[in-house]
């Protein structure tokens, strides 16, 4: 009887030693992070829209790693150390550069700002409230000559994630109301159901005819 227990214990112990060996691949420990920038400034996008692609050569089968860009223009990816290729793909509010791959050596925590060429930029935004109207002042600059400005929108939301798709109020302005390469002032009325809030979030965005994604200003918390 005693002997049987001893066998059983030994066996269990041995099994535990073996099973640990099987899981011999470490979780990815390196990290690649940075921002999508133009002339050193972050570009802001819709959350869950813009993507970068990461590729790693040297394996039989290729499969890219999609890297989503957060709405403030930052991105990050957990990776293994090694050499990766980073691709700026189409469909975003900047020029695709499919053949102009950025080669990045990931080693531990690696910082890399990805330069892109937006069709337009929108910046230096300032907001002011008077009564139930918010007026937004901002600068629009054209970067890519062939592109044509289509629309500017101002969006309001109750949470920090706000864009043309996720919003509680939106005001649309066509291109002819916008001064390109100088300052423009537009306004949005706060809808009735948001007037009693303590604060709301506001973003201004523009769309060109070259992409159906807008390029945004950062989400700004406005105390009411």
Partner 1 sequence: MKYTLLLLILCASFATVSCNNEDWLERDPKNIITDEQLWNDPQLITSLLANYYDRLPTFHGVFNTGGMTEIDDAMWSGHFDQNWRNDFQYGYDYGRYWDYTFIRDINLALDNIETFSTEIGDEQKNLFTSELRFIRAFVYFELVKRMGGVPLVTEQLIYDFGGDPEYLQIPRSKEHEVYDFIYSELETIKSDLQANNGSQTRANEFTALALESRAMLYAASIAKYNNLMDTPINLPGGEVGIPAEMAKDYYEKSLQASQSILQDGGYALYDENPDKQANFYEMMMNKGNAEVIFAKDYVNSLKTHGFTFENIPRSLTEDNEYPSNLTPSLNLVESFDYLDGGEGSLNITDASGDPIVYEDINGIFANKDARLYGTVIYPGTTFKSAPVKMQAGVAVWNDSDYELLASQDLGSNYSDEGLWTGADGPQDNTQFVSNTGFYARKFLSDAPGASLRGVASENWWPWFRLGEIYLNAAEAAFELNQEGVATTYINTLRERAGFPENSITDLNIEDIRKERRVELAFEDHRYFDLKRWRIAHEVWDGDINNEDAAVFALFPYRIVRPGHPDNNKYIFNKFTPTRFRRARFFRLGNYYASIDQGVLNNNPKLVRNPFH
Binding site for partner 1 (CB under 8 A): 48, 61-64, 89-91, 96, 148, 150, 164-165, 167, 170, 209-213
Comparing CB distances to partner 1, the nearer of 207 and 217 is 207
Least separation, in Å, of the C-beta of 137 and partner 1? 24
Local structure of residue 198 (DSSP, 8 states):
S
Which residue's CB is nearer to partner 1, number 167 or number 217? 167
Nearer to partner 1, 124 or 209 (CB): 209
Token digits of residue 20 = 């640990």
Please, which residue, 88 or 106, has the CB nearer to partner 1?
88
Q: What three-state secondary structure class fits 10?
A: helix
Minimum CB distance to partner 1, residue 159 (Å): 14
CB of 128 to partner 1, least distance (A): 25
Instruction: Report the residue number, 35 or 207, with the smaller CB distance to partner 1.
Output: 207
Cβ neighbors of 173 (< 8 A, separation 6 or more) are 151, 152, 153, 154, 186
The distance of closest approach from Cβ of residue 154 to partner 1 in the complex, given in angstroms and rounded to an integer, is: 13
Coil, strand, or helix at residue 196? Answer: coil
How far apart are CB 132 and partner 1 at their closest, in Å?
Answer: 19
- Report the distance separating Cα 210 and Cα 217, nearest Å: 19
Residues 54 and 68: their CA atoms lie apart, in Å, by: 11
> Hey, what are 219's tokens?
């989400």
Alpha-carbon torsion, ordered 52, 81, 37, 73, to 10 deg: 60
């Amino acid at each position: 009887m005693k002997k049987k227990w001893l066998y059983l214990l030994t066996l269990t112990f041995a099994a535990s030693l073996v099973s640990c060996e099987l899981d011999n691949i470490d979780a990815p420990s390196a990290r690649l992070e940075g921002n999508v920038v133009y002339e050193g400034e972050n570009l802001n996008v819709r959350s869950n829209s813009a993507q970068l692609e990461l590729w790693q050569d040297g394996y039989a089968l290729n499969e890219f790693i999609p890297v989503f860009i957060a709405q403030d223009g930052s991105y990050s990816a957990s990776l293994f150390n090694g050499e990766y290729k980073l691709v700026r793909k189409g469909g975003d509010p900047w020029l695709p550069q499919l053949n102009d791959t950025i080669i990045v050596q990931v080693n531990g925590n690696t910082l890399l700002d990805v330069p892109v060429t937006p069709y337009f930029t929108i910046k230096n935004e300032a907001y002011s409230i008077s009564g139930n109207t918010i007026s937004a002042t901002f600068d629009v600059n054209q970067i890519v000559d062939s592109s044509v400005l289509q629309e500017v929108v101002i969006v309001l939301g109750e949470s920090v994630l706000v864009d043309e798709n996720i919003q509680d109020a939106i005001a649309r302005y066509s291109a002819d109301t916008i001064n390109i390469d100088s300052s423009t002032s537009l306004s949005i009325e706060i809808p009735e159901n948001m007037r009693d809030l303590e604060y709301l979030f506001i973003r201004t965005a523009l769309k060109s005819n070259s992409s159906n994604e807008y390029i945004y200003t950062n989400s700004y918390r406005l105390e009411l």
